[in-house]
Amino acid sequence: MGYETLLDPDLLASAFRERGSLRADFVEIYAERSAASAMTMKDGRIVDVTSGRERGAGVRARLGPTTGFSHTSTLSPTAVLRTVREATASLGPGRVPGAGATDGCRAPAADAGDAVEGTPDPQETDGAGDRSRHAELLHAVSDLAAAGTGKVVSVSAVLRGERRTSQVANSRGVQVSGDTARERLAVTVVVGAPSAPVSGRASLGLNTPAARLTEEHVRSTVAEAVRRAHARESAAPAPVGEMPVVLAPGTGAVLIHEACGHGLEADHLTRRSSVFHDMLGKRVGPAGLWLVDDASLAGAWGSFAFDDEGHDGRRTVLIEDGILVDFLWDEVHSLGRDGAAPANGRRQNYQCLPMPRMSNLLVPAGDTAPQDVIADTAHGIYVARLGSGRVNTATGDFVFAAKEAYAIDRGRLGEAIADCSLIGNGPEVLRGIDAIGTDFALGPPGTCGKDGQTLPVGYGQPTLRVRQGLRVGGTAR
């Protein structure tokens, strides 16, 4: 699946030659070919198998501030050239640079009768070999859960895989192409009495050129899901009120992702829909706090060699020693802004326009031993795993579910506490961080949705203590 198998250089040259006659300042072609599958197991039985493949190209044209877009599900020269014309036509007749600011958009080109050139790639076939391997791994999930200590009432798992080749070329001379492969396993086990069942969930993912989960990956994921389920069996009611919260390494960064990261994406900045829109150069956190987005981190779930506009994946420092120093940029939102370097233009697929998105949002390690963070906390809670949440990017207010947490009493971890909520405000939480551990870890593979587009993302951080700014919503009286 190399460069020539998607868009031929002669085709690209023809497309970009047309740009001048079609009155566009800029034309970009994003082409991709992908194959994806999902297999679901419940209590030892494979209950669902899905697979699919796609190929196509999206064309973006720009004239001044106006954008036109069209896409095609065929990579034939006829379809691609027609899609270029449709994208530029949606800019409107007789426009001149700087006139109008409305985004243009067109329906996909009609592909009936277009020839599909070339032969199917092995990665685009039904993947019988992968199906057999995935089924074996899912049956291993069931066997391992049943063989473990403690009574497992039920076990289910989903194994997903994707292979993708993408290519970006534009009228400025950018031409890049590459392959990605991901596999992800999510396991849920249920334990306890039928009258009071509790569940535990764990997931693991690989993002490598030849991502292939093994039985050892299955073993560790099942063990973690079982451990989490048993930890919740005897959980006490969670406390209520504002108190210090210690976030475990890895998982806590999902809170930073939602509560702060989205507000640092440049489209929110330009719409003034981010609480951080006027904070550049100002202190937003304590000395020693850094926040980076790193698409170049090898093997991390959100990493990529180049973004979906053709820019190399790289490390972007957002907060430096407590000072907000940058945002996450794509091409459109970096125009006219000195020092704005686009590297985070991402899209779900060829049918979508790119927008500023996170890759792997990370809080680097600090200088405090994690055991000292807990020992220095007289009272509070330790959050080992966060669940889903929601955030208002304009205000920074958020609510998150804590799916595994423990009481902290006189500097020691105590009993497990039942599911509770964490309520706060992104900027206030950043200012409330007063301890940063040395034990950096990546969290489990994540999926992030924004404006109808879903993408793989990563996150990670060391042990963090939020001394003030977080309220715990529990049920203790």
Question: DSSP 3-state assignment of 378?
Answer: coil
Give the pLDDT score at 192.
87
Whether the CB-CB separation of 257 and 283 falls below 8 Å is answered with: no
Give the pLDDT score at 5.
59
Q: Residue 213, Cα to own-chain centre: how many angstroms? A: 20
The least confident of 9-18, 73-82, 276-285 is 9-18
To 10 degrees, what angle do helices 215-233 and 128-147 make?
40
The average pLDDT across 437-445 equals 97
pLDDT digits (tens, 9 = 90+) for 66-111: 999 999 999 999 999 999 999 999 886 544 333 333 333 334 443 4
Structure tokens given for 335: 């125009």
Question: In the predicted model, is pLDDT for residue 17 greater than 90?
Answer: no
pLDDT digits (tens, 9 = 90+) for 345-389: 999 999 999 999 999 999 999 999 999 999 999 999 999 999 888
Question: What is the b/e burial string over 160-170, where b = at least 16 CB atoms within 10 angstroms of the residue's CB?
Answer: bbbbbbbbbbb
DSSP state of 368: B
Question: In the predicted model, is pLDDT for residue 264 greater than 60?
Answer: yes
* Domains of the chain, first to last: 3-35+50-124 (no CATH), 128-165+179-233 (3.30.160), 241-473 (no CATH)
Q: How confident is the model at residue 128 (pLDDT cuts 50, 70, 90)?
A: low
Sequence-distant (6+) residues with CB within 8 A of 352 are 58, 452, 453
Question: In the predicted model, is pLDDT for residue 121 greater than 50?
Answer: no
Give, in order, the Cα–Cα distances in Å from 200 to each of 48, 170, 227, 245, 352.
Answer: 21, 47, 7, 22, 35
pLDDT digits (tens, 9 = 90+) for 208-245: 988 899 999 999 999 999 999 999 988 999 999 999 99
pLDDT digits (tens, 9 = 90+) for 387-411: 888 899 899 999 999 999 999 999 9
Q: How confident is the model at residue 127 (pLDDT cuts 50, 70, 90)?
A: low
Give the pLDDT score at 76.
95
The 10 Å Cβ neighbour count of residue 378 is 10
Mean per-residue pLDDT over the chain, rounded: 90
Q: How confident is the model at residue 135 (pLDDT cuts 50, 70, 90)?
A: very high
Give, in order, the Cα–Cα distances in Å from 421 to each of 203, 414, 445.
Answer: 21, 19, 22
Give the pLDDT score at 41.
98
Percent of the chain clearing pLDDT 70 (strictly above): 90
Question: In the predicted model, is pLDDT for residue 120 greater than 50?
Answer: no
Question: Which pTM was predicted?
Answer: 0.90
Q: How confident is the model at residue 18 (pLDDT cuts 50, 70, 90)?
A: confident
Whether the CB-CB separation of 313 and 343 falls below 8 Å is answered with: yes
The average pLDDT across 116-135 equals 60
Whether the CB-CB separation of 381 and 423 falls below 8 Å is answered with: no
Question: Which of 44, 24, 114, 48 lies closest to 75, judged by CA?
Answer: 114
